[in-house]
């Protein structure tokens, strides 16, 4: 029997409760597919600061590096907002990503037929949307040097090397080969030298993938097209700041941020997490939607462990549960047969997994 070691970081706010449901579903699918998952829990974020005085203890880094994958809930909250930047929960996540060496953030956006009315965008625009954002995670303007802030002036430097662009492009093209074989590279090459280099390197990589159709789009147009006609996109490849903005925009196409998973890969160990935050205002009420975390667990099975059949079963179970009218509170207005608590929806999905 195959055995995998999973580092689990529950985090803050609703993090612990959504992680519980993901683990429940993972246990169901591992029993079905006959592999074994062991879980080791570690602290990160505000909960780590409260106990250890740091948002990322050394033992968390070590434990994650010695695992096959990391499953993470959410961090942050007003309680820790006034701490110095280096002690705030979010800095722990940035440091962990750096320690793991992950450089590619993968964010799928799919509109479920049963939830096509969840978004403020017209259903006829959304039906059939299935896109995949590949965002570079460790370069660009967020990390470029030099940077400076004075009372009268501030600047940040956008920097990308050829190798940084090449490696993220390879992931995008590899992803497209498993999908509909279309990559749209998003940049601002009409005004930014960095984007001109980006476009040159992406075109070089495209030569190794003759089956994949490559197109280019300026980021301002891409933002418009995501709302106007999101079905045109298969894989969107873009840099850090553009990807940060576009992937959040894409998340709203689905109608609920509680449905969207993400993966950070490319390094020693992959990190899998929902795209939403810790929502401390609803923590402990049993109303948070764990589906994004459950789907993140499916991404972990697919991209980190190679358990494709198990990932397929989880994704199909989620679709079936939504089709049969089970909803959490955030989706309760959308044809709900039954409004479920966090724990209930996790159990229902786990039961569906066992039947597939």
Listing DSSP states for 174-189 in one string gives HHHHTTTSEEEEEE-T
Active-site residue flag, 2: no
Residue the block writes with tokens 């600047």: 155
Residue the block writes with tokens 């499953």: 71
Residue the block writes with tokens 């007003």: 78
Residue the block writes with tokens 């089709």: 323
In the set 50, 58, 220, 324, the catalytic residue is 220
Category of 128 on φ-ψ map: left (φ > 0), alpha (ψ -120 to 50) or beta: left
Nearest residue to 181 (alpha-carbon basis) of 218, 216, 233: 233
In the set 24, 42, 188, 326, the catalytic residue is 188
In the set 68, 95, 98, 142, the catalytic residue is 142
Token pair of 286 as six digits:
């049993």
In the set 27, 68, 248, 312, the catalytic residue is 248
Alpha-carbon distance of 356 to 29, in angstroms, equals 10
Bridge partners, residue 11, by sequence: 74
In the set 20, 27, 68, 244, the catalytic residue is 244
> By three-state DSSP, how is residue 342 classified?
helix
Active-site residue flag, 40: no
Active-site residue flag, 220: yes
Alpha-carbon distance of 58 to 63, in angstroms, equals 9
Active-site residue flag, 142: yes
Catalytic residues: 142, 188, 220, 244, 248
């Amino acid at each position: 029997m195959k055995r995998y070691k999973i580092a689990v970081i529950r985090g803050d706010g609703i993090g612990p409760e959504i992680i519980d449901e993901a683990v429940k579903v993972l246990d169901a699918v591992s029993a079905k597919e006959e592999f074994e998952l062991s879980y080791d829990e570690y602290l990160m974020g505000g909960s780590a600061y409260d106990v250890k005085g740091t948002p990322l203890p050394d033992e968390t880094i070590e434990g994650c590096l010695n695992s096959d994958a990391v499953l993470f809930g959410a961090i942050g909250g007003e309680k820790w907002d006034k701490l110095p930047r280096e002690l705030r929960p979010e800095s722990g996540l940035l440091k962990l990503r750096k320690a793991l060496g992950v450089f590619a953030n993968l964010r799928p956006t799919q509109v479920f037929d049963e939830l096509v009315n969840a978004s403020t965008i017209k259903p006829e625009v959304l039906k059939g949307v299935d896109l995949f954002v590949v965002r570079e995670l460790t370069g660009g303007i967020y990390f470029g040097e030099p940077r400076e802030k004075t009372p009268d002036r501030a600047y940040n430097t956008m920097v990308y090397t050829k190798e940084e662009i090449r490696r993220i492009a390879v992931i995008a093209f590899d992803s497209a080969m498993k999908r509909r074989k279309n990559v749209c590279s998003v940049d601002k090459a009409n005004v930014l030298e960095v984007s001109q280099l980006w476009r040159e390197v992406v075109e070089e990589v495209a030569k190794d993938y003759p089956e994949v159709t490559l197109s280019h789009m300026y980021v301002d147009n891409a933002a418009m097209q995501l709302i106007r006609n999101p079905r045109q996109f298969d894989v969107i490849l873009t840099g850090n700041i553009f990807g940060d903005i576009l992937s959040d925009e894409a998340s709203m196409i689905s109608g609920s941020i509680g449905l969207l998973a993400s993966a950070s890969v490319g390094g020693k160990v992959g990190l899998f997490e929902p795209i939403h935050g810790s929502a401390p205002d609803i923590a402990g009420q049993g109303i948070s939607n764990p589906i994004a975390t459950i789907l993140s667990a499916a991404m972990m099975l697919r991209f980190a462990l190679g358990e494709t059949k198990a990932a397929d079963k989880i994704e199909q179970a989620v679709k079936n549960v939504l089709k049969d009218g089970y909803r959490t509170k955030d989706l309760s207005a959308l044809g709900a047969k039954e409004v479920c608590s966090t724990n209930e929806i996790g159990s229902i999905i786990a039961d569906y997994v066992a039947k597939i």
